[in-house]
Amino acid sequence: MPGSPPQRGAPAGLEVLATAEELREIVARLGAELDAAHPEGVLLVGVLKGSVCFLADLMRRMTVPVEVDLLAISPYRPDSGRVRLVKDLERDIAGRAVVLVEDLVDTGLTLTYLRRELEGRGPASLAVVTLLDKPARRLVPVTIDHVGLSVPDRFVIGYGLDFAGRYRNLDGLWAVDELALAAEPDRHLLDLYG
């Protein structure tokens, strides 16, 4: 089936971090945690584009009232350490219970920026849920309230995470060699899509 993960003995250059089934279990656990933390309901704020798969599955696993809004930021620029908001929320979050939904937290710089931006808008509460945490890359300390999976310091593709626009639609997660992908972005298409 296209997008299904190879067996744990993956082709050279690919390491399976989580299968589709494992991701379903992780998302179900996180949905239950958010239900317990927000019995009256919550506004989920997804960060485009990487969180889309996770956000869609997460809200379907929740049983409390859920509203959704989206924001987008410019790509992180290592030379400046800055990001900027390029698509803002459509809803006013003042007085609301808000959960920021991230695909991956690594350096902590983007999360710090987003937290400061959202806290300045006066939500009743602000929590963070991330599918993946990469603590080895942390440059600034951050608080993450709900973590799906801690991953090693490797480049990750699949389930919303991409390389040059490729691999987002895969239903599993893989660690790959980023330099090899930079040289040949399509190198894993046959392995992962068949």
Rounded Cα distance, 160 and 51, in Å: 6
- State CA 132 to chain mean position distance: 6
Query: What is the largest distance, in Å, between two alpha-carbon atoms of the chain?
Result: 50
Rounded Cα distance, 42 and 50, in Å: 21
Measured from the Cβ of residue 190, the count of other Cβ atoms closer than 10 Å reads 9
Which of the residues are catalytic? 106
Contact present, 6 and 194 (Cβ < 8 Å)? no
Where do we find the tokens 């989206």? 70
Rounded Cα distance, 108 and 117, in Å: 14
Contact present, 101 and 72 (Cβ < 8 Å)? no
